[in-house]
Structure 1
């Protein structure tokens, strides 16, 4: 929401600025920066005046408004804009606070304030919720204002500000938020508003009050909630909780997330804390609460145990407002739904998920046949954008099957949880299918009280058959429609099945057989029911299906009291029409009520059968294969498999990339073959024989005969039309096991697909171990458009980059590890090859040399890990040193192996998030970034001198407005060198929609040290110094640099002589006599005023 509002403001300020202090409406400043102060607003015709929290007044009459600035604000500028039918009038001094989410935008929503009857004729006070960093200070600052109640759960107070003192309050707030006062400031101010789409509206929206009036409130019905636990102390659950069980590793069943409490409240909350306003759907139902989720997730084992427990303890309905990615397979949760439903008759009501608007995004276990999958609607019965869409991944069945209100739902708030959108201390707002699901579960409880003999299928059918469809949403998005429990309670009819999936009519269609399904109508009434049956279906283009394509017979049906009668729905897809999914409803209507049955059939577009035969290297059918097809003309991946080695699959006509990996047992080895056909055109029924005998091995030879291959990879990568990456490889580590590959069809253009061959050769050392060898080859090729198959590469030393690499030892006798990655600019995925390095060590490493090949490495030596940025090695000999001291902060280009660090960059900002993860132990090579195990690690961010809380390991949430920041970090290690590294940066930052690299620097030292990271005592040492700026940050030259040295672990410091030298500096220090350690400290300032101050205790040894 914050990003969207800010974007709108950029436009609104240019066209809708009204300047205060003008004598009449329509006057404007001569420079053109303001326009008319009178503009249309949809409000009441009579004059109504609204006082804003800023002390300004807005007068509304006959659809116009007029701004009257508060005292002392005569020169204030205001902005007006409309979002979603709401008009806003905002003074310029509120913009940054709204953008920073310090001030609720609704405080300037004229439409909302009038609708809530907060105009001056109705209210003499402004109702606010105020959160401050110090509650005591907040109460003192609120002196003279009416504090309605303390809300410690949300760290806030409900404050009533007299409108005549609003300007005074605003000036105080402005100073506190801006950090202009010495006392702790206000964190946030909300309107104590009245939302329209909330539980007191959503419960009537589904017809629950009408059912209550008939005496059905869920009494005697047990509903289980399997979620994050519950706040059992909440007044709304008094007398409602039969059992509470904890199935997680948490020490108790208390709800520390808030989700489970909210869900349970929607089902059966009494509304006691709100005087009955926020009652649940079935307020007298009995609750079983099983805690199956923590703030870290919901283990399958905990969910399964909870489901069993609930069903065994008499739950008629189980609410599961949870889910995960679905597959075409029957996973344990879906299986449990099916098993328990069949065994106990319990209805599992499950959230469809919040992955909309993507099609086929229904989560599991909502995708289970017996589950009642629930999507989310808003208060206007329109589908929520985030609600997951169908059809189901497996088989195309109708999911979700029903919808319910799930947007801005007010329900109980757990006392031990953070409320993102609080109403007061007892209630909060949440949105999602998690909130929609308990509306349906509560509705099922009301029906179960009315019909005690109903089992899961009966409840499901009744709710679906009486649901209210939305004409603007597709059936595959909403299922039967929005639950209408009043209609369900008043109905004596239900259908079996409650939805009809007529399957797939295979292409071509001229000889299609009619597809039929029988639907049984059950009448639970005391008299016979006569029903008129109609069917209405639309095609994939939204137009009505061709006449005669769909028929329901008979057209009229009489169902005896307590009996059933059947009708048949038939689809004749041989009749000409569009190809794709047809969807509609059978409607059975009569004096006894109306039942709607969703109907779908897929009139398959042009499609063919693809048969795949898999043969191993002996020519025999094999079950040891992995085959997948990626769509080129349409997105999606298909993974066919049959254990007999022949797999058949039905696919749309089009282009596909076919890949298979076949494995053979060959003595003690496995021979692996990669087979790929990058351009499979499916224009007819096709058989492809994937024969591993056609795959050939590739060989590589190197100049040094003692060098042995210790790792190899063969594969390809391809960028697909939808932007995704298709890549496959086969690889081996160690030994002489060959790899085989084959490609069918022509080579593709190099910018579309590239093959890959990578291998490592290592020469063993005197002890016969490869790690101690003095020579190693890292070789890679990326041939254009073709997977490597049967190629021969004879490598010459002249074709390679030769790197003399040194690995000093921080501690003697240790073993290091080095892992090497090969990549290209358009392909950073990589199979890496690693090995051990006895320390200290010097060895010759050879690398393939090409403009498009990048090499990077991770080197782990003791507790420190160095990572290098991708580098294209030039021809000839060069040197490279790892772990050479001193270890200090560094900001190289991001290593390809790092993915956790915000796109690989170290200190960034996007939106209102600042991310900071600094490699504090980088060695002296400016291409390296180093991290280490530490005994202590502290970090702190200050904004204009005020601390900013850390929201996770690396992220801070900050206000949008520009401010001065100070970020500091200190790490200590229980080791000999770089025992304490401390750094502090200052910079200025404001909200950035795109990822912005912040202007941080690091001072890198490169003294000439020996293999033990030591320098001689009693001598001068010249230290090359580089100030390294984070790549991608706004450029600025270094204005000044100072360097200091200490020989007593930082107790005293001496200023080093520093002189400019090319792009860097030279610092001269003199070592005292005798062994010891040197510490280094530096301070740099750039031309933009950004600074860095860093200290390294025991940066290197001094040898006596």
Structure 2
């Protein structure tokens, strides 16, 4: 407290104009200063970090004295480690604007990917962000791209598995991952669902046990076991028998270990497989919860009058739980179980209670006014969503398995993203429906647009429910079909979902009183589940398919497309009184253009007569296009127009569609059956979607030798939103006529000791017939930067941006350390839209130069080791594998040791080997260790997962890696017993070059960037400090079309204090932001982030940083 009092008193004695320059001064963007008083605020905050929480109460008056002191608008100063009540402290200083002082977590979020790569997103000015990517393995390149508002980060190691459809792309959508709460602050483990091969799945078994941890990702339940060991770094949370899978919690701290354990070296040619019997890995996705008028609207009271109230029928509601003490539900619950770790079945959200009471509430709290559809049914409560209304796919699948084996009807007013029906939840619905005969009644979703049916409602077996209002008008929010992928006919049926009054959970904060009004397909779904219970009471022998057909066949026809509303609006009395059932819907699928040779498609409709007398039915088919026009004669035919269905028997007819007839577009309609009195007794919805004019577009990828390669191809066109497809050598897709762009990054071998990366493609080509695009590296030109001083690349990025019409895509490749050269294939200039190609370099003075004879070895300094400083002439000794036994009888003190890297190890095994080799070398007194690769590629050996920075993880030994071809020569010379290597180490570069070379309209033939000093900005920078610590810095570049600046993964190290000359490209419309971070500050680390600025060629500037 005395130190703090002294600091504040000092601040009060200073004039407001007392200042020292922190930033540069020049005409281009004015003068930026930080006041000495503001420095004292930093001192105050540092003092606060040492106080106990109780001491904070003693300093209110001191804080008030500092309110006149404000930070300069030029900076963001961010402590890296937060202190107790830090944000409250900032708020206590009115003039200390929140966007000038950021505490840890207030302006950045970090997500660890399944591969172990770490992505940090920092919000900066004007809604923009900087995205830093720190690869798990710096030898592995990273692809980054932006589509719309979503940014993806995909390491090269994942590309083969994506191309083989073994890996879910959602695992790499960093924007959505953070938005959905998968960030490292929210979850310490990444939840995934794995599907096993059949042989592995058969070995899965469960044991008894209960999860008790609150966080899904913290679950260590011993309840789930398999005969096959779990991958390293992962714990099995639950077995999902319905999809031959399991839910895993993959520790983010061990993400790299997990990835390396499940991935053998993936070939760039052959489709890879995961180890541990894993067939595919999905993100364990987030799922969210999507009556006095609505119940009579569907005719439920008429059913009650006939004695059908759902009595005794068990209905499982999978939702947010239940208020067990609500008067409408208190006597309705037969069984309840929570599938949310750490939460009971009690409903702290309110959605589940509302839904359950719509199914079977007694209306006791309203004298029967708000009675549910089936008030005498029995309720099984499966809590699969937490008290915030959110859950994981795996919890829901687990709940589905429990529900299907304990109830004949399962109501699910929840859903995930748009689906083609092949996702894990949809798979589970189909398998459980077939195995148990249960009916899954599932909400369609609340998207409101076409093609927006969500998971698990996209499942074939699901009875998928849309919503109408009280006037039987389609609700604007109700998700519509067709189903993604195959054009499937969904939803199946609709029910009231707008303004539904039902029970309110007293355990939630929603509303007041006993009832609550809610809207959505979530509210429509339980109406249908209750109706199914009523129907099952009358027909207890029926299975889910029979219930589904009866409810669909007897719905009230509405004047809407079956792709929007299904067969119609639920009609309980009609379903209860009908004695004839038919196939619910016929989807004739999606027909590719042209249709000249298409064969007729035949589907069957089976009519079932549940009465004791034969029934004669007249069948009439109506089929129209979306404009309401009748189809050409003969396009749709039925095999019989009048049929007799025997008593308690069936009759099947054939419905045929001739795709050759009719133009492209969607056709839809109904097949209606009427009895001898002209009464409609059943109707079946029908639909087909005919592709508009499209042509096959084929991609072929080839490396320098003409061999096929794995690639992720980015495609955008005037009629096509940006998309990326993963291919092995060749792949064909279908596109409409128009102008397109297709680009891809290829990893290729350029010969001995050479791994290269090539941007290939064609940014503009026309499609007016079958088309082939050759993604051929053989015509590539090398990309290079030449500057006056000797340099090496610390960071390289190749990037392109393409806009055609309203569609645009930005993609970039962060080059791995083992890549020797980068290339691009020259293109013609585009005539439509915009195309930009750029290369980014961060160049420094070589950190380690090893001269062997007349050659300077191409070596890569290792993460986590201490760089050498100075020049040396060192004797060199070969020590085999570098084990303690290899050192016996050898004197390596102060010398260079050369060791071999093992062959045929899994990636996860190289880190322990390198660590062991380094420890042995250090114990023996070696000064430098060179690891020779087992193949002819450069590489960065890994000693730790941390960069070579002053975070306390470095070992006091310099370690580097070289290729086998060069290493073999060094080993041969060392074995002669008289090898000395000339070594120069520069841990802190005295100069840096931040360069960007931009080309508009095309990739030119000449890709050599050789800027003169007059084309660059020279910044003489002084990094001040009296602490003697170390800092690191990074400079971000931003083009006008970017909202996200892609950050350099490997920051440069700075010794404090020090001077450095920094050369920066002054390219039109390129903005730059410089960030410096003081590491290991006495109290807590902090960083300074400069706003984005543009430069003019030839400027000479000076900056002073880190004044303390």
Q: Please classify the TM superposition score into its range, dividing by the shorter chain length.
A: 0.5 to 0.7
Q: Deviations over 1:531-565 (max 9, x none)?
A: 11111111133322223322222011111112111
Aligned match of 1:1000: none
Alpha-carbon distance change, 455 to 808 in structure 1, aligned in 2, over 3 angstroms:
farther
Distance 2:985 2:640 in 1: 84
Distance in 2 (CA, whole Å) between partners of 1:542 and 1:221 is 42
Structure 1 residue corresponding to 2:797, chosen from 713, 735, 760: 713
Q: Do 1:493 and 1:524's aligned partners in 2 also have CA atoms closer than 8 Å?
A: yes
Distance 1:254 1:594, change over 3 A: same
Q: What is the 5 A alignment of 1:28-177? A: none
Residue 483 of structure 2, aligned match among 392, 396, 403? 392
Do residues 373 (structure 1) and 457 (structure 2) align? Answer: no
Structure 1 counterpart of 2:764: 679
Cα separation, 2, equivalents of 1:254 and 1:378: 30
SS of 1:302's partner is helix
Within-5 A mapping of 1:884-1033: 884=1107, 1013=1108
Structure 1 residue 492 displacement after superposition: 1.9
Where do residues 340-379 of structure 1 align in structure 2 (5 Å cutoff)?
340-356=432-448, 358-379=449-470
Q: CA deviation at 1:326?
A: 2.8
Report the counterpart of residue 692 of structure 1 in structure 2.
777
Deviation per residue, 1:32-84 (Å, 9 max, x gap): xxxxxxxxxxxxxxxxxxxxxxxxxxxxxxxxxxxxxxxxxxxxxxxxxxxxx
Residue in 1 that maps onto 2:1102: 879
**1:138-287 to 2 correspondences below 5 Å:** 199-287=291-379
Q: What is the match of residue 412 of structure 1?
A: 503
Residue of structure 2 aligned with 1:304, choices 368, 392, 397: 397
CA RMSD of superposed structures (Å) = 2.3
Residue number in structure 1 paired with 2:591 = 505
Distance 1:660 1:851, change over 3 A: closer
Q: Pick the aligned partner of 2:1059 from 839, 842, 847.
A: 842
SS at match of 2:490: coil
Please tell me whether residue 520 in structure 1 is matched to residue 610 in structure 2. Answer: no
Identify the residue that residue 758 of structure 1 maps to in structure 2: 840
Distance in 1, Cα, partners of 2:541 & 2:1100: 85
CA spacing shift, 1:816–1:440, aligned 2, 3 Å: farther
Relative distance call for 1:621 and 1:474 in structure 2 (3 A) is same
Per-residue deviation at 1:733? 4.6
Q: Contact 1:375–1:478 at 8 Å: present in 2 too?
A: yes
User: How many angstroms apart in 1 are the aligned matches of 2:531 and 2:1030?
Assistant: 66
Alpha-carbon distance in structure 1 between the residues aligned to 2:567 and 2:421:
25
Match of 1:658 among 742, 745, 770: 742
Q: Is the 8 A contact 2:420 2:458 kept in 1?
A: no
Q: Helix, strand or coil: the match of 2:435?
A: helix
Using the TM superposition, give the Cα deviation of residue 696 of structure 1 relative to its aligned residue in structure 2, in angstroms: 3.1
**8 Å contact 1:731–1:739 — kept in the other structure?**
no
Residue in structure 1 matched with residue 492 of structure 2 by the alignment:
401
**Is the aligned partner of 1:339 residue 2:427?**
no
Choose which of 659, 665, 685 in structure 2 pairs with 1:580: 665
Greater fraction of residues in helix: 2
Which has the greater radius of gyration? 1
User: Aligned partners of 1:297, 1:668: CA distance in 2, in Å?
Assistant: 51
Deviation at 1:813, TM superposition (A): 4.2
Counterpart pick for 2:650 among 545, 559, 564:
564
Indicate whether 1:435 and 2:651 are aligned: no
> Is 2:740–2:763's contact at 8 Å kept on the other side of the alignment?
yes
Shift of 1:349: 1.4
What does residue 1046 of structure 2 align with?
831
Assess, with a 3 A threshold, how the Cα gap between structure 1 residues 757 and 269 changes in structure 2: closer, same or farther: same
Q: Deviations over 1:498-517 (max 9, x none)?
A: 21111233333444432221
2:870 aligned with 1:870: no
2-side partners of 1:442 and 1:593: how far apart? 24
* Contact 1:540–1:579 under 8 Å retained in 2: no
- Unaligned stretches of 5+ in structure 2? 1-290, 848-868, 871-983, 1080-1084
1:463 and 1:720, CA in 2 relative to 1: closer, same or farther beyond 3 A?
Answer: farther
Higher mean alpha-carbon deviation, 691-700 vs 297-306, is at 691-700
Which one of the candidate residues 421, 439, 450 is aligned to 2:538? 450
Give per-residue Cα distances to partners, 1:339-373, cap 9 Å, x unaligned.
111111111111111111x2111111111111121
Matched, 1:780 2:996: yes
C-alpha deviation, 1:795, in angstroms: 2.3
Q: CA deviation at 1:662?
A: 3.0
- Counterparts of 2:494 and 2:804 in 1: how far apart (Å)? 36
Per-residue CA distance 1:314-359 (angstroms, 9 max, x = gap): 2111122111113447221111111111111111111111111x21
Q: CA deviation at 1:526?
A: 1.7
Residues 454-473 of structure 1 mapped to structure 2, 5 A cutoff: 454-471=542-559, 473=560
Calculate the TM-score normalised by the size of structure 2. Answer: 0.58
Deviations 1:957-998 (A, max 9, x none): xxxxxxxxxxxxxxxxxxxxxxxxxxxxxxxxxxxxxxxxxx
Q: Is the partner of 1:449 in helix, strand or coil?
A: helix
Cα distance in 1 for partners of 2:817, 2:1057 equals 24
SS at match of 2:391: coil
Count of residues paired in the alignment: 672
The structure showing larger relative contact order (alpha-carbon pairs under 8 Å, at least 6 residues apart) is 2
Shift of 1:444: 1.4
Q: 1:783 to 1:326 in 2, by over 3 A?
A: same
Partner of 1:804: 1020
Change (3 A) 1:453 1:840: farther
* CA distance 1:435–1:817, shift in 2 (3 Å): farther
Q: CA deviation at 1:771?
A: 6.0
- Structure 1 partner of 2:694: 607
Q: Corresponding residue for 1:861?
A: 1078
- TM-superposed deviation, 1:215: 1.3
Cα 1:304–1:615 shift into 2, 3 Å: same
Query: Is residue 674–residue 729 contact of structure 1 (8 Å, CA) maintained in 2?
Result: no
Richer in strand (by share): 1
Q: 1:820 aligns with which of 1035, 1042, 1064?
A: 1035
The corresponding residue for 2:641 is: 555
1:321–1:433 contact (8 Å) kept in structure 2: yes
Say if 1:640 and 1:649, in contact at 8 Å, map to a contact too. Answer: no
Deviations 1:113-149 (A, max 9, x none): xxxxxxxxxxxxxxxxxxxxxxxxxxxxxxxxxxxxx
* Equivalent residue, structure 2, for 1:483: 570
* Aligned counterpart in structure 2 of residue 540 of structure 1, from 626, 629, 641: 626
Distance 1:696 1:242, change over 3 A: farther
Instruction: Give me the whole-angstrom Cα distance separating, in 1, the residues matched to 2:827 and 2:296.
Output: 63
Q: Which of 733, 737, 750 is 1:649 aligned to?
A: 733
